[in-house]
Amino acid sequence: MEKILVLDFGGQYNQLIARRVRDQRVYAEIKPCWKISPEEIRAAGYKGIIFTGGPNSVYDPASPHYDPAVMELGIPILGICYGDQLLTWMGGGEVSPAAQAGEYGKTELTVEDHPLFKGVPRTSVCWMSHRDYISKPPVGFRTLAATAHCPCAAMGDDSRKLYGVQFHPEVTHSEYGSAMLHNFLFEICGCSGEWSMENYAERAVEALREKLAGKTVLLALSGGVDSSVAALLLHRAVGERLTCVFVDHGLLRKGEAKLVEDTFHPLFGDKLICVDASERFLSALAGVTEPERKRKIIGEAFIRVFEAEAKKLGHVNALAQGTIYPDVIESGKGDSAVIKSHHNVGGLPDVIDFDELVEPLRELFKDEVRRLGETLGLPHELVWRQPFPGPGLAVRILGEITADKLSRLREADAIFREEIAAGHPNPMPDQYFAVLTDARSVGVIGDGRAYGDTVALRAVSTDDFMTAAWTRLPYEVLERASSRITNEVPGVTRVVYDISSKPPATVEWE
Ligand code: XMP
């Protein structure tokens, strides 16, 4: 398969670069610069290499450098920003600190006539973000573009197919950035653009079939898009030898357990094991109010239930997980503080008897996983399911969790989802749900005083869930949801809308 290496020097846009390449139907993978040597690059057969940007100056001894042998591999290279400066430095050119503060934001770029700029007008807008600049290109390179403050905004050595651009073609503010990336991939690297979901699915199934020949595979199916797509892919590859265990912890939203069972039972038959463990979870959670304890209890109980089911199957050859690409990339970022202990199936390998781990989605971004799901025929509701935390509704009920509270929250949440679906808000929030708070307040029901519960509605807009803004939902949607919830859900006398962003709030309430 033709592929491009995105060699990561710590730039904030490394994933975006890989995305932009994949958008051109060329497969790209990111590797941190210290994780792959020129020899390994040669052996892997990349059609081209993109050096990412990075926060450093090449003259800073602590900045990431690279073996100049990479320039002699005969593989085309495009250096972006810091990557451009690094090429210059490795090739013996000169990088200097900008006289003023540097160049940031939209800048007019003037380009020469060159295959890298095929279809790009002589002047256009590009996005700049740099302090240092190239004061002298290395031997063999010539200047291919300039801006008012940057005499060498692009450079190239056609004989070795080495190129560098000081601006960021991967961001949309660079008007012709995607044309330039296209030119690098197709005009310079000679890619043919054969990466598509259909042929990716075929190849992935083929590769899994080979890797798992004669082996048994176990997968924890959560009903989330990742594990569902992994299940379909594996099922195509190994058929009956795949067993999926779906643990209903009793903390799912209305209709979800049934959706998962209805989707997968016809395909997997008795190879789908659905465990109703709701009582076990509820009794383990009885009386617990502290959020982190709830999460720990659920994570632990989940593993125990899964383990017990796995034991019944005896030894399995492979444990499968729906790990996706962003989970895998090691970009050298420092450890961040634990805000909430996330419960994922990632903790399972310690407790199950298996020989190998298979992660069939580890090359894909989330939206690619969804596209693959569609290609494999996964129902729309599952493909487009919004993220749902592993601990489920337990982190949306403040205070103690009881069966009664769960059933009332399920109703309130279903109403909110129905009203959002009916109201078609634009933009559609990326995640939305109801929370049963522990605030009680006075209300009036009929002619009498009522002392009831408060439901909070939450809807957020976000790209990556690391930060999020509260969604400006139409008042009509909020009004209908509020009125239906107070009318239809027993004991709820008040509905509030959560208008906090993340940070400082988080998406979930616990
Ligand atoms: P927070 O509340 O941390 O949520 O701002 C960010 C995103 O992560 C989801 N979330 C979880 N997902 N296991 C998961 O798989 C968890 O324990 C968990 N906790 C929060 C949350 O729904 C949101 O999309």
| Domain final residue pick, 164, 188, 212 | 188
What spacing in Å lies between the alpha carbon of 285 and ligand 1's midpoint? 19
Order across the sheet with 354-358: list the strands.
Answer: 272-276, 242-248, 217-221, 316-320, 354-358
253 neighbors 413 (Cβ within 8 angstroms) = yes
* Same domain (yes/no): 57, 104: yes
* Same domain (yes/no): 282, 420: no
Q: Is position 262 within any domain? A: yes
**Is the model's pLDDT at 439 over the cut of 50?**
yes
**Is the model's pLDDT at 347 over the cut of 70?**
no
Nearest-CA neighbor of 384 among 409, 359, 366, 410? 366
Count up the domains in the chain and report the number: 3
Mutate to test the pocket of ligand 1, among 507, 509, 510 (most ligand atoms within 8 A of CB): 507
| Domain final residue pick, 135, 164, 188 | 188
* Closest residue to atom 10 of ligand 1, CA basis: 389
* Closest residue to atom 19 of ligand 1, CA basis: 389
Q: Is position 124 within any domain? A: yes
* Same domain (yes/no): 314, 235: yes
Mean pLDDT for 436-450 is 91
Q: Is position 504 within any domain? A: no
- Tell me the per-residue pLDDT of 394-405, one tens digit each, with 9 for 90 and over: 999 999 999 999
CATH code at 463?
3.30.300.10
Mean pLDDT for 55-80 is 93
Q: Is position 509 within any domain? A: no
What pLDDT score was predicted for residue 342? 52
- Tell me the per-residue pLDDT of 3-37, one tens digit each, with 9 for 90 and over: 999 999 987 788 889 989 999 999 999 899 999 99
Q: 173 φ, ψ to 5°?
A: -65, -20
* Same domain (yes/no): 261, 288: yes
What spacing in Å lies between the alpha carbon of 508 and ligand 1's midpoint? 7
What pLDDT score was predicted for residue 123? 97
What pLDDT score was predicted for residue 354? 84
* Same domain (yes/no): 111, 40: yes
* Same domain (yes/no): 184, 228: no
* Same domain (yes/no): 21, 129: yes
- What's the pLDDT band for 330 if we cut at 50, 70, 90? very low
Residue 449, helix vs strand vs coil: strand
* Same domain (yes/no): 366, 236: yes
* Closest residue to atom 9 of ligand 1, CA basis: 389
Q: Is position 315 within any domain? A: yes
| Residues acting as catalytic residues | 81, 168, 170
Ligand 1, CB cutoff 6 Å, lining residues: 340, 342-344, 387, 389-391, 431, 465, 502, 506-508
Q: Averaging pLDDT over each range in 134-138, 200-204, 379-383, 443-447, which range is the top one?
A: 134-138
Mutate to test the pocket of ligand 1, among 296, 345, 508 (most ligand atoms within 8 A of CB): 508
What spacing in Å lies between the alpha carbon of 389 and ligand 1's midpoint? 5
Instruction: Tell the residue number behind the tokens 């407790």, with chain if given.
Output: 351
Percent of the chain predicted with pLDDT > 70: 95
**Is the model's pLDDT at 105 over the cut of 60?**
yes
- For 186, the token pair is 């197709």
Q: Is position 507 within any domain? A: no
Q: What is the mean pLDDT of the chain?
A: 91
* Same domain (yes/no): 240, 159: no
CATH code at 16?
3.40.50.880
Query: Containing domain of residue 406, as a range?
Result: 397-497
DSSP class of residue 499 equals: -
* Same domain (yes/no): 101, 208: no
- What's the pLDDT band for 336 if we cut at 50, 70, 90? very low
- Tell me the per-residue pLDDT of 451-485, one tens digit each, with 9 for 90 and over: 999 999 999 998 778 889 999 999 999 999 999 99
- Tell me the per-residue pLDDT of 299-327, one tens digit each, with 9 for 90 and over: 899 988 988 898 899 889 999 988 887 77
**Is the model's pLDDT at 118 over the cut of 60?**
yes
Q: Is position 392 within any domain? A: no
* Closest residue to atom 17 of ligand 1, CA basis: 342
- What's the pLDDT band for 332 if we cut at 50, 70, 90? very low
Mean pLDDT for 257-272 is 94
| Domain final residue pick, 188, 211, 235 | 188
Mutate to test the pocket of ligand 1, among 342, 432, 498 (most ligand atoms within 8 A of CB): 342
CATH code at 331?
3.40.50.620
Q: Is position 292 within any domain? A: yes
What spacing in Å lies between the alpha carbon of 345 and ligand 1's midpoint? 14
Residue 459, helix vs strand vs coil: strand
CA torsion angle 265 367 188 30 (round to 10):
-90
* Same domain (yes/no): 116, 216: no
* Same domain (yes/no): 18, 136: yes
SS3 letters across 435-492: EEEEEEEEEEECCEEEEEEEEEEEEEECCCCCCEEECCCCHHHHHHHHHHHHHHCCCE
Atom number of ligand 1 nearest to Cα 468: 5
